[in-house]
Amino acid sequence: MDLKQLIRLVLNFLHLDITKNLEYDRLTKLIMKKVINTGSNCIDVGCHKGEILDTIIKQSPKGKHFAFEPIPYLYDHLMTKYSLQASIYPYALSDSSGTTTFQLVKNAPAYSGIKRRSYQVETPDVEEITVVLKTLDEVIPQDIKIDLIKIDVEGGEYGVLKGAKNLLKQSKPVIIFESGLGASDYYGTKPADLYNYITLDIGLKISTLKSFIKQGKALSLAEYEKDFNTNSEYYFIAHP
């Protein structure tokens, strides 16, 4: 565990949300503890170093878990650490299959994704690599009910969700996902399209993480559009 991970864990434990991302990390883990049981089946899209996968495995030691990370050195790390506890794939996910260019931000890998986006680093060092592209519907076995999906793909979440339409309609899982200006718009995503896909096509509601925890009301389209366009909130949960 590196120093950044250790500091993040300590701040999460103490509930010190000194940044929005730390707050979202804490809320995500709290939600997973509420909705995952020992036999839940989960998917981690954009697994990175495995921070969320750690929580998934601890909460659901008897479940079947699937993790996706196209950055080669991070995939190798995940295979070394988790290959006996989860199925690890080196794929980028979208609504089509094949290969794709992928923007690896070498000095800020958490910003990496299929398309270039705005980066909150002064001098991003971006290397374009080629990765395999898949859909969730073709990778996840149809006879497995998925209970939770976490998606952190720096703007490509709508493509991931469209490529999982059969899975989502069949399983109706809880989905924790990031979306908003500065990332999603680089993929041409309009908030109304994503909202209507989740609510009308799939049949789930969308809430903020805080509202879900407090059992508050789901977001209307206008409320979601406002959050998307202002980044007042950029992590959301889709749920039955």
**Which H or E element spans position 105?**
strand 98-105
DSSP 169-227: HHH--EEEEE--TTTGGGGT--HHHHHHIIIIII--EEEEHHHHHTT-PPPPHHHHHHH
Three-class SS state of 77: helix
Note the pTM of the prediction, 2 decimals: 0.90
Specify the residue for token string 């794929």. 91
CB atoms within 10 A of CB 170: 15
Per-residue pLDDT of the chain (240 residues; tens, 9 = 90+): 544 544 444 444 434 445 788 899 999 999 999 999 999 999 999 999 999 999 999 999 999 999 999 999 999 999 999 999 999 999 999 999 999 999 999 999 999 999 999 888 889 999 999 999 999 999 999 999 999 999 999 999 999 999 999 999 999 999 999 999 999 999 999 999 999 999 999 999 999 999 999 999 999 999 999 999 999 999 999 999
User: In the chain, what are the domains?
Assistant: 20-239 (3.40.50.150)
